[in-house]
Copies of this chain bind each other. A is one copy, B any other.
Amino acid sequence: MFGLIGKMRCVPGRRGDVIKAIGGGTEGMPGCLSYIVAEDPADGDAVWITEAWDSEASHKASLDLPQVKEAIAKARPLIAGFEMSVKTRPITGI
């Protein structure tokens, strides 16, 4: 399995719009086992994204899906930067 844990900083006040853009769920994303978009309750402009995939290749392939491209295009201008981005190797759970 392949995992990602990321913390993004949104343009101030635009967190809700970022979540709306990227929070479409796992439907139509082959190999996606879990995809959770969360607010940071202690940091009003921060968003956490945690993902689990059956393989790194499935994650990479997802970046070419039309709905993913569209989500990224919508969210990009509303994102100030990535504060953390870690690859993981999920062993148990989902």
Contacts and interface: CB of A to CB of B under 8 A. Distances in A.
- Number of copies of this chain in the oligomer? 2
Interface residues of A, number: 29
9 contacts: A5-B5, A36-B50, A36-B52, A36-B90, A36-B92, A37-B92, A38-B91, A41-B87, A48-B88
A25 B88 contact: no
Instruction: State the 5 A-B residue pairs at the shortest beta-carbon distance, nearest first.
Output: A23-B92, A38-B88, A36-B93, A38-B90, A39-B89
Main DSSP-derived SS at the A contact region: strand
B88 A40 contact: yes
Contacts of A50: 3, 5, 36, 50
A23 B94 CA distance: 10
